[in-house]
């Protein structure tokens, strides 16, 4: 349950926050007492922020200097940065043989390079100790899933960044973790959930036999950003209904 004192006095930046997991995470952090700056390239981020009493910046993190400007906007608005949630990303990858340079660049630039640059921009401003970085990787970045190479490789990079930075920043008291969502009900997966092959290959083998709500991912992100996770760093936590641990096809009649 939300606790309005959990993040009292703390400031969070959430990227990709106009909708989906990002919007749910921003809302949960705000419910838990944080002041939140929501960032997204979609202009609707302003409405999402207004609904939770947060601030908004409409920006494309691929633009030169955008991460630094976003960090400065948080400082100008709230005076500090305690938590960074790297959620911005894109889906819809293809098999490598069908991926031209533009597609590969788009996935790696958006899902990995922008995360590295955003994290670098925020690092000087995080409290030591007490800073939190939580990034959104993917189950596809951990287990091989045919037809998603550029996306999966970029998300695997986010997972490895998490482990690397946990080692680099641990002595400063900054905790770095990630979540690896499975099938989540968002605009990004809406089309996939209507696809018979996707449902058979990814959704049906999930032990809990359902997709998750964005709020279920947001709850885990909030935990990792909180004092309750004070001895957790370098972890990539699957929020996947058990898919990574024990995916298996339904039995007849199930």
Active site residues: 151
CB 185 within 8 A of CB 19: no
Tokens of 248: 């298996």
DSSP string, 146-162: TT-HHHHHHHHHHHHHH
Distance CA 132, CA 177 (A): 8
What sign for the dihedral angle of Cα 209, 215, 221, 227? negative
What sign for the dihedral angle of Cα 200, 202, 207, 213? negative
132 by DSSP, 3-state: which?
A: strand
In degrees, rounded to 5, the angle at the alpha carbon of residue 90 between the alpha carbons of residues 84 and 91 is: 135
């Amino acid at each position: 349950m939300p606790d309005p004192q959990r993040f009292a006095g703390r400031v969070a930046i959430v990227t990709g926050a106009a909708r989906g997991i990002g919007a749910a995470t921003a809302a949960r952090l705000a419910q838990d007492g944080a002041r939140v700056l929501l960032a997204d390239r979609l202009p609707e981020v302003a409405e999402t922020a207004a609904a939770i009493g947060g601030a908004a910046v409409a920006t494309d993190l691929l633009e030169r200097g955008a991460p630094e400007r976003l960090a400065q906007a948080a400082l100008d608005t709230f005076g500090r940065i305690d938590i960074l949630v790297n959620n911005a990303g894109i889906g819809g990858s293809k098999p490598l043989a069908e991926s031209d340079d533009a597609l590969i660049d788009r996935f790696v630039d958006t899902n990995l390079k922008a995360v590295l640059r955003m994290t670098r921009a925020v690092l000087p401003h995080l409290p030591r100790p007490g800073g939190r970085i939580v990034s959104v990787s993917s189950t596809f970045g951990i287990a091989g899933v045919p037809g998603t190479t550029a996306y999966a490789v970029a998300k695997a990079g986010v997972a490895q960044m998490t482990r690397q930075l946990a080692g680099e920043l641990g002595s400063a008291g900054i905790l770095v973790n990630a979540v690896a969502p499975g099938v989540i009900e968002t605009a990004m997966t809406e089309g996939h959930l209507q696809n018979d092959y996707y449902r058979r290959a990814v959704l049906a083998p999930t032990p809990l036999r359902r997709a998750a709500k964005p709020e279920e991912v947001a709850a885990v992100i909030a935990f990792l950003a909180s004092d309750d996770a004070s001895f957790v760093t370098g972890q990539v936590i699957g929020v996947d209904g058990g898919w990574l641990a024990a995916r298996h096809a339904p039995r007849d009649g199930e």
